[in-house]
Amino acid sequence: MKETTTLQKSPPSGFQLINNEDNPLDTIEVCLDGPGKQTFSTQLMEEHTPFENGQFHLKIHITSHYPTGPPSVQFVTKIFHPNIAPRTGEVCVNTLKSDWNSKNTLSDILTVRLYLPYYKNLVDTIDCQIVTDRS
């Protein structure tokens, strides 16, 4: 897939692709730098976050429906966030669900993930208990 080759050559800022030969061809593993490790993060952060200076591993599974349907994205690193399923690491945001657009690229998807540790989307929560605990 041409898009994955492009992504490997120049991933979005704040991401490193992990070369894991054990992964199936339809799976991409990436490492996301958390707030504080990225140059623009201090401008985005209104308050300190528990994700500050962290590194987070994600897997993107490119489904057979891609690009007309979204890939599935999950955090491999355990993360306590209202838009991340606590058991599976599944990411729940409109961009990967009802607002999916076939013009979205893998780079676009990663860029959306880049902002997740900064903000919680309370409309798309996957774990309401986390919202209650953090409010």
Tell me: the pLDDT tens digits for 40-85? 444 444 456 666 777 888 899 998 899 999 999 999 998 887 788 8
CATH for 15: 3.10.110.10
- Per the residue annotation, which of 92, 112, 130, 131 is the catalytic one? 92
pLDDT of residue 69: 93
Tell me: the pLDDT tens digits for 88-113? 998 887 788 888 999 998 888 887 76
Go through 54-86 and write b for each residue having 16 or more CB atoms within 10 A of its CB, e for each that does not.
bebebbbebeeebbeebbbbbbebebebbbbee
pLDDT of residue 6: 84
Go through 9-40 and write b for each residue having 16 or more CB atoms within 10 A of its CB, e for each that does not.
eebbebbebeeeeeeeeeebbbbbbbbeebee
Q: How confident is the model at residue 130 (pLDDT cuts 50, 70, 90)?
A: very low
**Cα–Cα dist 95/23, whole Å:** 24
pLDDT of residue 41: 45
The boundaries of the domain holding residue 60 are 2-134
- Higher-pLDDT residue of 124, 69: 69
- Does the annotation count 92 as an active-site position? yes
Tell me: the pLDDT tens digits for 13-35? 778 888 777 777 788 898 887 76
Number of domains forming the structure of the chain: 1
